[in-house]
């Protein structure tokens, strides 16, 4: 019986060795180690042995079984690994093939500029105020120190709807409306929006364009506050090393009035085609709110003061992104729009 | 305003200062110098020539062979100008000269004859044709006999000069004169002024004996002064005066007209010269015109006057439109001997209105419109009289004919230095402030801690304290203003919830593949209401620039479609655009239209690109519908959202739906009508428009977390056979209503219509999810709920389970 066991062992080990797949090996396991296998048969047949031989024989069978099992499991691990490797080999792909495109649109460049400015001022405690695009002459002109017949009205030819109603020529009426609504309380707002002027559309003019203005009113607001605020804006918008300079100018709704230049962000001030060789780029108009404007909205101009500034997102986008024709913003050519997708800096 | 720096230096010392630097200083102090123009254009080798001899070119009719003395030699030049003659002093560009147009002068042969240079016109030296005196407009320019051959012509013609072009803001009309600019420059440079002289010996005869003056419209014309000058000889002005006018952008005519223009440029006070004899009546009456009264102005146009137009008359008929333009009937001409010089103060509003009425602008009206200096009316008249005596041999009659009720008191401003410093955020000393006022030539007194300032009448823009603040600041230098930030109670800034949601809507739509477009609000009558969600009376411009842009839109779709057409015509496979913008409806109580913020989107062409994976799909209704559903989910309105078949002009009748929230229509979604697509050469195109304001202003339930359950859900699929017309939305609603509280999800996963179905029937398959967050469901419970659903479907929709 011992010899029989040895022979069986040789046989199984041979079969294990010969198994080329997990399945074959499993078949071997079932055939030899299963409930109906020869090893089990041997154990069952032990009953015929003399009682004193049984423990010895039993131990022997167990040793063989363990030995076989160990070999089988080692072989199993090997075959499984091989199978996985084959599978992985089959699953290889060409990783240089293009990925599935993610379909994404993006902000219009003007919105991009407007939101950037909005966010910058929100960070300084400003709120966003909006108002109607069709306005009363009163809010568009009169409340801003531009009475009927004022020579400065020639500066902006308007689209009138009736004698008293027109398409707003700037976003300043939002300021006038806000002042009226705030009834003498401090104000800190940014007003973005569409505006309209009687211009023929060409590379530098558009009958519809965008403006963004700011207004701060409070006790003892000084011109130095305006300058400091504009400097923060210029640095955040155009780079930390931007310098600003103010030049006296004229707007009916501010006194004193200024225009702000920034040092050229392309050449740094040495002179190039962006700054027309001057080293400076005109960015916005600003000033201290005219006392007439304050008084008309019910503010005591002796107690309260304020500053206002305004700029054109088109101009800023044109400067920043090198856009040469203002009409591109309103043609909505996808080849143009899609270029304003990625982040900057 | 064009400012010759040479002319300017007569009134204020600018020596040693480069004109470019001067321009920069003027700009920094408040008047923008738009351009610094070199009148010489860098020309060299352009000299005086003397035409000794002229003979016709044997080979060319229009050419002349001239022997020209150019100083160091006499040389041959071929000249084609019709007015060249022997004995003339002319402008010669010698070989090597480069003219302003870029023309290089070289020795040449013209039809076999040598030509060593070119005899020039003024235009060839860079002077605009409109400024060249009429006599020389079509030929070469002839210099005075005193010109010396060989000398450079540049000083002779005043071309050795730099002109500053000022871009004046409306408040600085004081700088519309050489003297005004001189005051400004004097203040900037701390230099004193030199004033022009008005000295002449008056005749014994009194002007009032010659001319009677009546001003009937004293409100429009509070001051009028006339000088009478006899024995005037009308001729060409001296060259210096002509070239100063040309430098200032004014065309020389004759000495009398030139003198009035010169004084206009010098003082900013418009003058007019009448031919005294042509007035006929020895009388001037200033009055308002009669409605329909006519006058032929100097530009030979007949103009019909309005009753609010101020006119100068001879007592019978108008001889000038006051402050705008003279009449042809009283114009100074070659034979004029007695001249009436008018210097007046016409009220700005009146001149502006008249100028606007006749669409007629002149150097005079431009100045009156902005207000002239009341104290220069007489000065200018006297200056003109003295120049007429000097340059036209005139005899100035004694005194003036004058009506004067003009208030000439200067504006008084009282301001405290502290107020100035507080507003500026600076600490300028009183000494520095008063020194600036002195430089500006403002009268002031410092007393009781206040500055009492009398603004000169030439500075009509100085009225209030803030005006003084600006003067002090700009002269002190804006660079000196420190940089601070407002000191105030700190408050958080931010967006309103509407604004914040609108940004989320944009980000969502862009994430869904749409580009943001911005189109025009103004449109044509035809497009103004097309595809509109809602129409109301339109808002129309009074005076549109074109029919295309004459009315405010009531729908965003037409212009978005224009953009789609534009892109499609340029080979774009896919166009997916959205816009957020206002539409304008009817009229509110305030008279303004209702402005509603709408959202629109248009998609056309391919949705999924043709990639190497072989997928390719055109846009369809459900792409856009999915975007709407996603948007409503984002905004928290999924449970209120329904779609209903609708019919809208211009849209596909079978593929149009109203979008509703809680039963209220808030938008539409549709395929563009195939015939509209064809008109625009578009493939299938889908449009969406919704009342964004209405959606964003809708209340949203607070967001609460629902506990994530440990218990499993059970899913049952059903395939139903129903009539083809049955809307799946209806089936879904039946399922939801009948499923009870355990039914948590209904999802349509298959739709089949075709050969395998009985005609008029379709198969619809739903997946139903049952779930109780508290426990595991028993089979029995699910079967019960599910049977109720099947029963309801059978009863209410005639749906059978597909075998």
Q: How much is the average pLDDT of A243-265?
A: 93
CATH 3.30.420.40 fits B412-476, yes or no: no
Q: Please give the C-alpha separations between residue B115 and each of A59, B95, B127, B626, in angstroms, as whole numbers.
A: 133, 9, 24, 82
Cβ–Cβ below 8 Å for A196 and B576: no
Residue window 239-278, chain A: list those with CB within 8 Å of chain B.
Answer: 245-250, 255-259
pLDDT for B573-599, tens place per residue? 899 999 999 999 999 999 999 999 999
CATH code reported for the domain at B497-697: 3.30.930.10
Would you place residue A11 in the very low, low, confident or very high pLDDT band (cuts 50, 70, 90)?
confident
Structure tokens at A70: 């160990």
pLDDT for A156-194, tens place per residue? 589 999 989 999 999 999 999 999 999 999 999 999 999
Structure tokens at B404: 């004067």
Q: Degrees (nearest 5) of the Cα angle B514, B515, B520?
A: 125
CATH code reported for the domain at B46-143: 2.40.50.140
Q: Is B239 helix (H, G, I), strand (E, B) or coil?
A: helix
Would you place residue B688 in the very low, low, confident or very high pLDDT band (cuts 50, 70, 90)?
very high
Nearest to A122 among B424, B493, B541 (CB): B493
Would you place residue A7 in the very low, low, confident or very high pLDDT band (cuts 50, 70, 90)?
confident
DSSP-assigned beta bridge partners for residue B296: B302
pLDDT for A320-330, tens place per residue? 999 999 999 99
Number of other CB atoms surrounding residue B492 within 10 Å: 8
User: Is A342 an interface residue toward B (CB < 8 Å)?
Assistant: no
Residue-level pLDDT at B610: 67
Would you place residue A151 in the very low, low, confident or very high pLDDT band (cuts 50, 70, 90)?
low
Q: What architecture is domain B207-404?
A: 3-Layer(bba) Sandwich (3.50)
Common-topology check for domains B2-36+166-189 and B412-476 = yes
With contact defined as beta carbons under 8 Å apart, do A210 and A108 qualify?
Answer: no
Residue-level pLDDT at B658: 97
Phi, psi of B446 (to 5 degrees): -105, 115
User: Is A208 an interface residue toward B (CB < 8 Å)?
Assistant: yes
Q: What is the mean pLDDT of chain A?
A: 91
ipTM of the complex: 0.88
Residues of B in contact with A136 (CB under 8 A): 590-592
Q: How much is the average pLDDT of A234-245?
A: 92
Cβ–Cβ below 8 Å for A103 and B544: no
- Give which of A255, A286, A295 to mutate to test B binding, by max B Cβ within 10 Å: A255
* Among B157, B174, B164, B153, residue whose Cα is nearest residue B5: B164
With contact defined as beta carbons under 8 Å apart, do B96 and B105 qualify?
Answer: yes
Residues of A in contact with B485 (CB under 8 A): 124, 225, 228-229, 232
User: Is A164 an interface residue toward B (CB < 8 Å)?
Assistant: yes
Q: How much is the average pLDDT of B560-564?
A: 97
Smallest CA–CA distance, residue B666 to chain A, in Å, is 21
End-to-end Cα spacing for chain A: 85
User: Is B158 an interface residue toward A (CB < 8 Å)?
Assistant: no
Would you place residue A30 in the very low, low, confident or very high pLDDT band (cuts 50, 70, 90)?
confident
Residue window 472-511, chain B: list those with CB within 8 Å of chain A.
Answer: 473-474, 478-479, 481-496, 499, 503, 506, 509-511
Q: What architecture is domain B714-801?
A: 2-Layer Sandwich (3.30)
Would you place residue A115 in the very low, low, confident or very high pLDDT band (cuts 50, 70, 90)?
very high
* Among B230, B200, B198, B211, residue whose Cα is nearest residue B397: B230
User: Is B169 an interface residue toward A (CB < 8 Å)?
Assistant: yes
Residue window 292-321, chain A: list those with CB within 8 Å of chain B.
Answer: 305
Please name the residues in contact with B68: beta carbons below 8 A apart, sequence gap of 6 or more.
B49, B50, B51, B52, B74, B75, B76, B77, B90, B92, B117, B119
Nearest C-alpha in A relative to B421: A222
Q: Is B552 helix (H, G, I), strand (E, B) or coil?
A: strand
The domain spans of chain B are: 2-36+166-189, 46-143, 207-404, 412-476, 497-697, 714-801
- A37 pLDDT above the threshold of 90: no
pLDDT for B251-300, tens place per residue? 999 999 999 999 999 999 999 999 999 999 999 999 999 999 999 999 99
pLDDT for B166-201, tens place per residue? 999 888 999 999 999 999 999 999 999 999 988 999
Residue-level pLDDT at A68: 86
Nearest C-alpha in A relative to B463: A255
User: Is B614 an interface residue toward A (CB < 8 Å)?
Assistant: no
Q: What is the mean pLDDT of chain B?
A: 93
User: Is B172 an interface residue toward A (CB < 8 Å)?
Assistant: yes
pLDDT for B655-687, tens place per residue? 999 999 999 999 999 999 999 999 999 999 999
Would you place residue A2 in the very low, low, confident or very high pLDDT band (cuts 50, 70, 90)?
confident
Residues of B in contact with A232 (CB under 8 A): 485
With contact defined as beta carbons under 8 Å apart, do B294 and B223 qualify?
Answer: no
Q: How much is the average pLDDT of A111-138?
A: 96
Residue-level pLDDT at A28: 86
Burial-class residue B242 by CB neighbours within 10 Å (0-12, 13-18, 19+).
Answer: buried
Ranges A40-44, B168-172, B184-188, B796-800: which has the least confidence: A40-44
Give percent of chain B with pLDDT exceeding 70: 100
**Can you say whether the dihedral through the CA atoms of A279, A282, A283, A287 is positive or negative?**
positive
CATH code reported for the domain at B2-36+166-189: 3.30.56.10
Smallest CA–CA distance, residue B481 to chain A, in Å, is 6
Cβ–Cβ below 8 Å for A224 and B595: no
- One DSSP character per residue, A274-313 reads TTTTSSEEEEEEEEEEPHHHHHHTT--TTTEEEEEEEE-H
Would you place residue B61 in the very low, low, confident or very high pLDDT band (cuts 50, 70, 90)?
confident
Residue-level pLDDT at A156: 58
Structure tokens at A272: 């190039």
User: Is B576 an interface residue toward A (CB < 8 Å)?
Assistant: yes
* Among B250, B242, B231, B224, residue whose Cα is nearest residue B156: B242
Phi, psi of B118 (to 5 degrees): -145, 135
DSSP-assigned beta bridge partners for residue B166: B33
Smallest CA–CA distance, residue A169 to chain B, in Å, is 14
With contact defined as beta carbons under 8 Å apart, do A144 and A168 qualify?
Answer: no
Number of residues that make up chain A: 345
Is B86 or A336 the better-scoring residue by pLDDT?
A: A336
* Among A47, A30, A48, residue whose Cα is nearest residue A38: A30
With contact defined as beta carbons under 8 Å apart, do B576 and B601 qualify?
Answer: yes
Q: State the number of CA atoms in the 13 A half-sphere of B523 facing the CB.
A: 24
Nearest C-alpha in B relative to A134: B592
Residues of B in contact with A121 (CB under 8 A): 493
Q: Is A159 helix (H, G, I), strand (E, B) or coil?
A: coil
- Give which of B187, B496, B518, B550 to mutate to test A binding, by max A Cβ within 10 Å: B518
Residue-level pLDDT at B707: 84
Residue-level pLDDT at A57: 80
DSSP B202: P
Structure tokens at B177: 């004169």
Give percent of chain B with pLDDT exceeding 90: 86
């Amino acid at each position: 019986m011992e010899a029989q066991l040895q022979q069986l062992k040789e046989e199984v080990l041979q079969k294990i060795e010969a198994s080329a797949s997990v399945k074959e090996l499993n078949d071997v396991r079932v055939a030899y180690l299963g409930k109906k296998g020869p090893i089990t048969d041997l154990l069952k047949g032990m009953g015929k042995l003399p009682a004193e031989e049984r423990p010895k024989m039993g131990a022997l069978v167990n040793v063989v079984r363990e030995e076989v099992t160990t070999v089988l499991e080692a072989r199993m691990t090997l075959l499984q690994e091989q199978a996985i490797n084959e599978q992985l080999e089959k699953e290889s792909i060409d990783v240089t093939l293009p990925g599935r495109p993610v379909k994404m649109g993006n902000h219009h460049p003007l919105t991009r500029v407007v939101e950037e400015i909005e966010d910058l001022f929100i960070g300084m405690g400003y709120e966003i105020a909006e108002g109607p695009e069709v306005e009363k002459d009163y809010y568009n002109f009169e409340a801003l120190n531009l009475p009927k017949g004022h020579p400065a009205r020639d500066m902006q030819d308007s689209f009138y709807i009736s004698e008293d109603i027109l398409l707003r020529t700037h976003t300043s009426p939002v300021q006038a409306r806000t002042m009226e609504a705030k009834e003498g309380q401090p104000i800190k707002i940014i007003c973005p929006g569409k505006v309209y002027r009687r211009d023929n559309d060409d590379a530098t003019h558009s009958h519809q364009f965008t403006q963004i203005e700011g207004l701060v009113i409070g006790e003892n607001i000084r011109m130095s506050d305006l300058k400091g605020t504009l400097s923060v804006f210029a640095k955040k918008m155009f780079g930390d090393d931007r310098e600003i300079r103010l030049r006296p100018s004229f707007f009916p709704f501010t006194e004193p009035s200024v225009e702000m230049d920034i040092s050229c962000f392309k050449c740094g001030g040495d002179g190039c085609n962006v700054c027309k060789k001057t080293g400076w780029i005109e960015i916005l108009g600003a000033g201290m709110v005219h006392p007439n404007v304050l008084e008309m909205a019910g503010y005591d101009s002796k107690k309260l003061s304020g500053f206002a500034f305004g700029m054109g997102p088109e101009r800023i986008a044109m400067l920043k992104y090198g856009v040469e024709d203002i009409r591109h913003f309103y043609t909505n050519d996808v080849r143009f729009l899609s270029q304003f997708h990625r982040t900057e800096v | 305003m064009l400012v010759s720096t040479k002319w300017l230096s007569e009134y204020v010392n600018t020596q040693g200062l480069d004109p470019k630097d001067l321009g920069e200083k003027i700009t920094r102090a408040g008047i923008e110098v738009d351009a610094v123009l070199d009148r010489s254009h860098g020309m060299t080798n352009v000299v005086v020539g003397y035409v000794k001899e002229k003979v016709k070119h044997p080979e060319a009719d229009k050419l002349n062979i001239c022997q020209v003395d150019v100083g160091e030699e006499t040389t041959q030049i071929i000249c084609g100008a019709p007015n060249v003659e022997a004995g003339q002093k002319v402008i010669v560009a010698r070989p090597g000269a480069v003219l302003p147009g870029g023309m290089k002068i070289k020795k040449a042969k013209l039809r076999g004859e040598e030509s060593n240079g070119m005899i020039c016109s003024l235009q060839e030296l860079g002077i605009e044709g409109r400024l060249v005196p009429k006599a020389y407009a079509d030929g070469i320019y002839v210099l005075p006999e005193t010109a010396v051959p060989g000398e450079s012509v540049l000083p002779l013609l005043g071309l050795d000069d730099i002109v500053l072009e000022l871009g004046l803001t409306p408040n600085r009309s004081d700088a519309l004169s050489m003297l005004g600019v001189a005051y400004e420059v004097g203040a900037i440079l701390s230099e004193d002024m030199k004033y022009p002289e008005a000295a002449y010996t008056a005749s014994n005869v009194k002007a009032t004996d010659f001319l009677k003056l009546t001003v009937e419209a004293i409100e429009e014309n509070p001051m009028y002064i006339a000088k009478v000058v006899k024995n005037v000889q009308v001729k060409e002005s001296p060259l210096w005066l002509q070239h100063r006018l040309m430098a200032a952008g004014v065309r020389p005519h004759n000495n009398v007209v030139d003198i009035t223009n010169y004084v206009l440029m010098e003082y900013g006070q418009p003058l007019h010269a009448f031919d005294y004899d042509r007035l006929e009546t020895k009388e001037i009456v200033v009055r308002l015109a009669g409605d329909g009264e006519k006058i032929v102005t100097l530009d030979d146009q007949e103009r019909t006057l309005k009753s609010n137009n101020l006119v100068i008359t001879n007592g019978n008929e108008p001889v000038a439109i006051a402050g705008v333009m003279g009449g042809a009937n009283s114009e100074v001409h070659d034979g004029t001997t007695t001249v009436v010089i008018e210097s007046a103060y016409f009220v700005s509003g009146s001149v502006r209105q008249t100028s606007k009425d006749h669409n007629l602008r002149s150097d005079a009206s431009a100045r009156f419109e902005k207000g002239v200096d009341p104290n220069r009316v007489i000065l200018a008249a006297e200056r003109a009289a003295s120049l007429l005596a000097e340059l036209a041999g005139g005899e100035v009659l004694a005194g003036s004919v004058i009506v004067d009720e003009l208030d000439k008191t200067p504006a008084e401003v009282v301001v405290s230095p502290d107020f100035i410093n507080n507003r500026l955020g600076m600490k300028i000393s009183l000494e520095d402030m008063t020194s600036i006022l002195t430089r500006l030539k403002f009268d002031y007194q410092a007393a009781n801690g206040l500055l009492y300032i009398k603004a000169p009448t030439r500075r009509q823009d100085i009225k209030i304290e803030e005006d003084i603040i600006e003067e002090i600041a700009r002269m002190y230098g804006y660079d000196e203003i420190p940089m601070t930030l407002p000191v105030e109670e700190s408050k958080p800034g931010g967006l309103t919830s509407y604004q914040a949601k609108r940004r989320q809507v944009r980000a969502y739509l862009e994430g869904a593949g749409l580009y943001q477009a911005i189109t025009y609000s103004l449109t044509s009558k035809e497009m103004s209401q097309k595809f509109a969600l809602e129409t109301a009376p339109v808002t129309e411009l009074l005076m549109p620039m074109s029919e295309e842009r004459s009315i405010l839109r009531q729908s965003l779709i037409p212009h978005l479609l224009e953009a789609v057409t534009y892109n499609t015509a340029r080979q774009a496979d896919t166009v997916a655009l959205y816009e957020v913008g206002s539409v304008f409806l009817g009229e509110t109580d305030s008279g303004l239209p209702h402005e509603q913020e709408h959202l629109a989107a248009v998609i056309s062409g391919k949705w999924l690109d043709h990639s190497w994976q072989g997928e390719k799909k055109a846009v369809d209704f459900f792409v856009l519908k999915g975007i709407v559903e996603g948007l409503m989910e984002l905004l928290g309105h999924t449970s209120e959202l329904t779609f209903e078949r609708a019919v809208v002009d211009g849209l596909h009748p079978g593929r149009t739906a109203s979008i509703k929230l809680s039963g209220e229509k808030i938008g539409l979604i549709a395929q563009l009508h195939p015939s509209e697509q064809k008109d625009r050469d578009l493939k299938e195109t889908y449009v969406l428009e919704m009342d964004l304001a209405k959606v964003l202003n809708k209340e949203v339930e607070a967001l609460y977390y629902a506990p994530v359950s440990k218990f499993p859900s059970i899913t049952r699929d059903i395939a139903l056979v129903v009539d083809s017309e049955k809307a799946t939305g209806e089936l879904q609603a039946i399922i939801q209503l009948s499923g009870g509280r355990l039914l948590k999800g209904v999802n349509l996963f298959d739709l089949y219509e075709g050969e395998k179905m009985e005609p008029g029937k379709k198969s619809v398959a739903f997946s139903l999810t049952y779930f109780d967050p508290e426990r595991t469901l028993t089979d029995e419970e699910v079967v019960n709920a599910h049977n109720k659903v099947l029963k309801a479907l059978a009863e209410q929709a005639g749906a059978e389970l597909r075998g």
